[in-house]
Copies of this chain bind each other. A is one copy, B any other.
Amino acid sequence: MSIVSHSSTIDELRQALGDKVSVNQTMREHHSKDESFHLATLPDAVVYATCTEDVATTLKICNKNRTPVVAFGAGTSLEGNSTPIYGGVSLDVSQMDKVLRISQEDLDCTLQPGVRRKQLNEILSTHGLFFPVDPGADATLGGMAATGASGTTTVKYGAMKELVMSLTVVTPNGEVITTSRRARKTSAGYDLTHLFVGSEGTLGVITELTLRVFGIPEVIAAATMQFPSLRSAVDGVIEVIQYGIGVARIELLDADAVSAVNKYSDTNLPEQTLLLMEFHGSAESTAIDIAATREVLERHGGSGFVQTTDEAERRKLWQARHDTSLACRSLVKNAKNFATDVCVPISRLSDCIEETQADLVASKLFGPIIGHVGDGNFHVVLSVDPEDHPMVERMEQFHTRLVERALAMEGTCTGEHGIGMGKIDYLVDELGNEAVGVMATIKKALDPNGIMNPGKIIAGTFF
């Protein structure tokens, strides 16, 4: 596909949707990139959809004219997932931001794709409920579903994959489908819900989501412990999980990450390998879980156990964890972050992180490591000056080795950021030509004109 102008598409969109269509330069620039390091590209126009019909209208016109369409939510993706690399239309669904239905009895809710995570939890909290997936950023739920996001609570509650019950999706030809009923489980036909979760807008546009939610626990307790080595912490976590002890979050920060957080967030955490944990339940059950976790971790060399149920203290701790990215950036002059993630079987996690730490030293790169250790998933938050070309080159080589290392350990090139444009060269290394060929067959069958977020997930060589 070549970069072409799409003026007749824009004319038709304007006739159908009026001032929901913008070609304003500022609007186009806002939709040209996400929070990543990846190249920005301007869309030819931005459509601000306010309902499913707007999305269907846009897709019908774009499909007829073979104009690319890339859905856009909060722009917080990290692999260029929402960047319109072939121009065309950026279809902004951020104004579709209504929570449509909440059921306390069924523990589910239905919402539009532009609802943001914090907004959803504010509304749910008035019903005594919460939605656990927490990728850090205040992303839209539509974007989180499209990316297959997860985060710090996956170890207890699961990722978007587990918690999306049903989607309303507009297909490239403008048809509106609902992928599942509202029953908690079903074995009726192909699992279209999971096909669209993680498809990054390459098969259709999500215009409604039904999500599982949970009752806010009576008690939420946070705790920290430090460890003499990375391996001792990971071995402890493996045992905690083997025993089925109920941890709601269990995050690993390496010494560099702790140091960056302390400087940025005015915390005073011990600057060595740290586990940051959270426990959800009744007063009795969390006390049992905490005692059991502490006992296991102390046996593995953990020390300095500190615990709090004070909400302000707890929030400060998790905000500090979520601010790691900003914290790291502040330590390197003129730095931008290059955040990447891989995920390996937990038995290989210590090996993978230790080899990665050694590689960082050898590569003269600053990259604190933070991990959703219960899932075997970790992030390297590389702080790189984009004008320092030798540094950028070292970073790119480091990144390739990181992915190769994870794949050699039976892991994946991306635990939770998606493929986007940033990991597109690795998908075949991970799953093989035949499996990616099956994905390409599905893509071609459902989007024969190739209008949906072209250039993402599946490399052009498959088309």
Contact = CB atoms under 8 A, between A and B. Distances in A.
Interface of A: 103-108, 147-150, 154, 158-159, 161-162, 171, 175-192, 194-195, 197-199, 203, 214-215, 217, 238, 241-244, 246, 280-282, 284-285, 288-289, 292, 343-347, 375-377, 406-407, 410-419, 423, 426-427, 430-432, 434-439, 441-446, 457-458
This chain's copy number in the assembly: 2
Contact of A410 (B162, B181, B377, B411): B181
Contact of A185 (B150, B444, B446): B150
Given A189-B458, A442-B445, 13 more contacts: A103-B347, A104-B242, A105-B242, A105-B345, A106-B376, A148-B187, A177-B431, A183-B410, A184-B375, A188-B413, A190-B198, A215-B243, A217-B244
Contacts of A345: 103, 105-106, 108, 182-184
A177 B435 CA distance: 5
B244 A214 contact: yes
Given A198-B190, A411-B183, A446 B439 contact: no
Nearest to A176: B434
Contacts of A435: 177-179, 192
A419 B188 CA distance: 6
B187 A415 contact: yes
Contacts of A444: 445
A336 to B, nearest CB: 23
A445 to B, nearest CB: 4
A9 to B, nearest CB: 24
